[in-house]
Amino acid sequence: MTKGTLVPILHANIAKEAAVYTDEAKQYTGLGKHFADHDFTTHSKGEYGRGVVHTNTIEGYFSIFKRGMKGVYGAVADL
């Protein structure tokens, strides 16, 4: 996904008053001018969190989402 594709999606789904925390992907460069704050972790240097700056929340969300899409939680619906 290119920055030109990504930024409009972020604008449509994130309040401009929000602080946005990402990894170091180039597509996220310059997000600070679009939102209240932008900071990132540098996974390529072994950094996965620095105070409140981390991507654990979104990574956890997508992990659960993907498991659900694969049907891991299918048995729960039968209860």
Higher pLDDT, 71 or 10: 10
- Please give the Cα distance from 68 to 59 (Å, whole number): 14
pLDDT, residue 73, reads: 61
Sign of CA dihedral 3, 22, 35, 8: positive
Strand partners, 54: 49
- Looking at residue 19, its amino acid is A
Closest CA to 29 of 40, 19, 18: 40
Q: Tell me, yes or no, if the pTM score tops 0.75.
A: no
Antiparallel, parallel or unpaired: β 37-40 and 19-22: parallel
pLDDT, residue 59, reads: 75
